[in-house]
Structure 1
């Protein structure tokens, strides 16, 4: 379809300026004719290209996006407004989100790369991971994440764009049925997508790793392959370590990027929520040899991987929401005053039981201190020592736990409202379950006083397990 002129009416909308003219669609600013039915936010109209030379994927991707935009919700996707008839003029009208795509932080072709600080890279990566996790919880994998499809709003949060190549577990996968080939943008596509496996949320984690690599170094980790053979190389080949291209990058950041880019999905972050938690707490990332190395993988190792990939059979992925439920973030609230050893013991036992039935779970050990605990300090050093003391206590509490296979981090929050601090932490980090001590007040008292556990149980976005002291202190001594 040819470009529409500004002022053209279409199904009750008026076309404004063309914002983007791409290989698959044109995007225009639009408004309602005569000011009718103002939605309260600016709008854009997306019209797919349908000339004789355009491929079938343009129409199929339009149908997919039409289907998904109507069911996806939340702050990380544009709001759906209307759609046009495929037999007349197909179009999608949606919210126009203010912000800049990740292309803003990348150099134009031929221009030198301006290095971003590790803090900026971590912030951008965490914003992407939060948005992607929100999508996965709705049983949708984006599968075409790239800088042009990630928009960063002025508040720092991310909005995902262009769902034409996406896959929803509850709807037929039209692209897989119609095209029967690897679908995605070659520079960012995950290894399992290359061989036709769609619907694994860890494919989007891989794409985040590609974007972080590019933002950090100015180069694509696998280049921009043009052939199927070039695409298949990522089934067994690692990219050069980012620190080989940019020595000032901290090892923790390379650890994150290369973990996202593992050829086998099982070796990546198990969910985007796990990735976001690492990027918001870089000081607690465990750096392995992966984060330290500056030399790429040798030929011998790549050859062994090639042999393995040649005979590997990829299995369809489970539903994204089910997959992320298998690797939850478990949070335990550990009190630091007015608590008995028996209660601490009971909390530890409850956590051990919960981790025992969730092999891939991550544990966040949290305590909340009053802002008054540090208000009397006279230097940053003394305030830091207060936090260190509480962190040490948390690690001592967790020491008897068998944490093999469970990534664990420790967090000291400051607030005069303990319940609110715990709920906000759970919301911000996609916690699946909170374990905390039950109230010690009697039932009569709880009718008049909303205790911290009751407040958390009422407001938390996830399951809350309240643990009562069940082991007498005398038995502990024995």
Structure 2
């Protein structure tokens, strides 16, 4: 099914044994359809199909986020997540089928804020319990907001939409490919602003924002739409909830302001501890937070600002912790002008390297060349999304290797300079070894320089250049200290 056809979905159409019944919602990144099985399963709950919007969608994060959700949802279980049913890959029909939850999301209650204290406390306790269950499954949600929270008829909170999430046992594709903060402006934690995605207490910050909004009708840090606006939460504290709504008890202000601390270590250690305090207010230890009636003074804010400036060059511990588990081998593949001979040689070289490092992870990379000035096409002549087309080609290349899904990732970079994009990707993600193909010598390549020779010259890691079947491999070691790079 082509991208253009996926956008003309109609009731009655069948996709991989599921029949489209009714379109429920069209968001910025996906369609939501009520579906049924062509061959019904007795007693099965109502089903929902999520289908990404492709076509002329020029936001690659939407495509990567859909892949993240496809990886994570089958790993989840329990009452606090939608039950996963099936999924389709970009090589065929991209979709996710899951349990369809009845009712509205928590977003509907925000239209009536501020709410009664008892209702807000009950909501917070249920969401915190759901977060604790999620964190025990090695997942940090990283996009907790009202529209991503629903409730079962029995009362338990359900967390939906895992497109921005991180699973500790799976590759973090979003962190590897993008350098802007990921999330929804009002709910992004300070550490997420700094590109740190491995702390479950980020979800507690978002829950604190949610509780603050439900109690006051306002957001603690507004609704910023720029990185500069997001960074204000690194040094500017919010107006205390009791200064806006005097009905907020001191113990609840203590909890909310603790959730909103800039330093994750100053928040609750776990979501379970937060849920416990919400259900046992007499156990809450009150500090100066509980009595605050105004924002901190300018001197305190200035000290925090200087500290936040120093955070600019702080190392991203989350990337180091993730990537230290195993070496990363990046194979750079020219999808646009590929040849099966060179593709097979790249596979042979990759297989040989992986055999020497059983714990390694393979990153398959290609570059979609973009213009330095002007507009680029996002679809080909057949109406297919070019980014998705490259992604499918990478997966076809890798299939003969038979690598387990948790050991391989696929990345379509978009840049005017392919060699520079590959080098930057390797540097930002601590790649240990790049394998890249070369098409041999020509007068033009000798004059202008090839992509592979530029990668060899600029990369900070080992580079293996492969020249096709029967040709030799040229391994270039990483630059030595004192070379000027």
Query: Which TM bucket (shorter chain)?
Result: 0.5 to 0.7
Cα–Cα, structure 1 residues 139 and 319, in superposed 2: closer, same or farther, change >3 Å?
farther
2:99 is aligned with 1:95:
yes
**2:25 aligned residue:** 20
Deviations 1:363-400 (CA, angstroms, capped at 9, x unpaired)? xxxxxxxxxxxxxxxxxxxxxxxxxxxxxxxxxxxxxx
In structure 1, C-alpha distance between the alignment counterparts of 2:20 and 2:197, rounded to whole Å: 36
In structure 2, C-alpha distance between the alignment counterparts of 1:48 and 1:237, rounded to whole Å: 37
**2:404 aligned residue:** none
2:68 is aligned with 1:64:
yes
Cα–Cα, structure 1 residues 38 and 62, in superposed 2: closer, same or farther, change >3 Å?
farther
Cα–Cα, structure 1 residues 39 and 45, in superposed 2: closer, same or farther, change >3 Å?
farther
How far off its partner does 1:184 sit?
A: 0.9
In structure 1, C-alpha distance between the alignment counterparts of 2:131 and 2:98, rounded to whole Å: 19
2:133 is aligned with 1:134:
yes
If asked which structure has higher relative contact order (CA below 8 Å, sep 6+), I would say: 2
2:262 is aligned with 1:257:
no
How far off its partner does 1:36 sit?
A: 2.9
Deviations 1:453-473 (CA, angstroms, capped at 9, x unpaired)? xxxxxxxxxxxxxxxxxxxxx
How far off its partner does 1:39 sit?
A: 5.9
**1:157 aligned residue:** 156
**2:330 aligned residue:** none
Decide whether the 8 Å contact of 2:87 with 2:97 is kept in 1: yes
**1:179 aligned residue:** 178
How far off its partner does 1:314 sit?
A: 5.4
Decide whether the 8 Å contact of 2:113 with 2:215 is kept in 1: no
Cα–Cα, structure 1 residues 196 and 39, in superposed 2: closer, same or farther, change >3 Å?
farther
Classify the secondary structure of the residue corresponding to 1:155.
coil
In structure 2, C-alpha distance between the alignment counterparts of 1:300 and 1:18, rounded to whole Å: 54
Cα–Cα, structure 1 residues 282 and 100, in superposed 2: closer, same or farther, change >3 Å?
farther
Decide whether the 8 Å contact of 1:182 with 1:194 is kept in 2: yes
**1:293 aligned residue:** 292
Cα–Cα, structure 1 residues 162 and 3, in superposed 2: closer, same or farther, change >3 Å?
farther
Decide whether the 8 Å contact of 2:114 with 2:213 is kept in 1: no
Classify the secondary structure of the residue corresponding to 1:83.
strand
Decide whether the 8 Å contact of 1:133 with 1:271 is kept in 2: yes
* Greater Cα offset, 54-63 or 123-132: 54-63
Classify the secondary structure of the residue corresponding to 1:46.
strand
**1:407 aligned residue:** none
In structure 2, C-alpha distance between the alignment counterparts of 1:272 and 1:315, rounded to whole Å: 24
TM-score scaled by structure 2? 0.63
| Superposed counterparts of 1:379-398, under 5 Å | none
Question: How many pairs does the alignment contain?
Answer: 314
Deviations 1:133-177 (CA, angstroms, capped at 9, x unpaired)? 111111110001100001122222100000010001111100011
In structure 2, C-alpha distance between the alignment counterparts of 1:39 and 1:47, rounded to whole Å: 25
| Superposed counterparts of 1:30-429, under 5 Å | 30-33=35-38, 35-38=39-42, 40-107=44-111, 113-312=112-311, 313=314, 315-317=316-318
How far off its partner does 1:88 sit?
A: 2.4
Classify the secondary structure of the residue corresponding to 2:75.
coil
CA RMSD of aligned residues (A): 1.7
In structure 2, C-alpha distance between the alignment counterparts of 1:59 and 1:117, rounded to whole Å: 40
| Alignment gaps of 5+ in structure 1 | 108-112, 321-478
In structure 2, C-alpha distance between the alignment counterparts of 1:314 and 1:97, rounded to whole Å: 41
In structure 2, C-alpha distance between the alignment counterparts of 1:114 and 1:65, rounded to whole Å: 31
In structure 2, C-alpha distance between the alignment counterparts of 1:199 and 1:299, rounded to whole Å: 32
Decide whether the 8 Å contact of 1:17 with 1:29 is kept in 2: yes
**1:363 aligned residue:** none
In structure 2, C-alpha distance between the alignment counterparts of 1:39 and 1:165, rounded to whole Å: 32
Deviations 1:86-120 (CA, angstroms, capped at 9, x unpaired)? 1222000001122431112111xxxxx44322211
In structure 1, C-alpha distance between the alignment counterparts of 2:45 and 2:211, rounded to whole Å: 31
Cα–Cα, structure 1 residues 282 and 57, in superposed 2: closer, same or farther, change >3 Å?
same
How far off its partner does 1:185 sit?
A: 0.9
Classify the secondary structure of the residue corresponding to 1:247.
coil
Cα–Cα, structure 1 residues 114 and 182, in superposed 2: closer, same or farther, change >3 Å?
closer
How far off its partner does 1:245 sit?
A: 1.1
In structure 2, C-alpha distance between the alignment counterparts of 1:257 and 1:95, rounded to whole Å: 32
